[in-house]
Amino acid sequence: MKRIGLTGGIASGKSTASAILRRFGAPIIDADAIAHRLMEPGGPLYEAYRAHFGAGVIRPDGQLDRRRIGRIAFADPAEKRWLDAAAHPVIRAAMQQELAEAEAAGEPVAVL
């Protein structure tokens, strides 16, 4: 299976390009979407962030306050390093799982 990496800065057209590729039938493995899913209540990143940052990062509706976490992480380089070290392996593993599923389904290509 061919793997295509789709990268670019903010507002560079990644979402537009992936939508076009999706219409042609390419499976899209979206790291941002995966990260958001893993941050849902009960997810591994939700639990890690709650344990590390405390109840102050949980909104009244039970969701993570991602903006608050961002403010904490980007204000303190040590917190940013912790966040990256906690998140990247979990997200990478989920992406690998989706790749394996696409390959098992016989997909000729996947876009990451």
Residue ranges making up the domain that contains 81: 2-111
**CB 110, CB 29: distance < 8 Å:** yes
Torsional sign, CA 12, 102, 39, 81: negative
Domain count, the chain: 1
What confidence tier does 10 reach under pLDDT thresholds 50, 70, 90?
Answer: confident
Tens of pLDDT, residue by residue over 76-86, are 999 999 999 99
Q: Domain with 15 in it: what CATH number?
A: 3.40.50.300
User: In a 3-state reduction of DSSP, which class is residue 19?
Assistant: helix
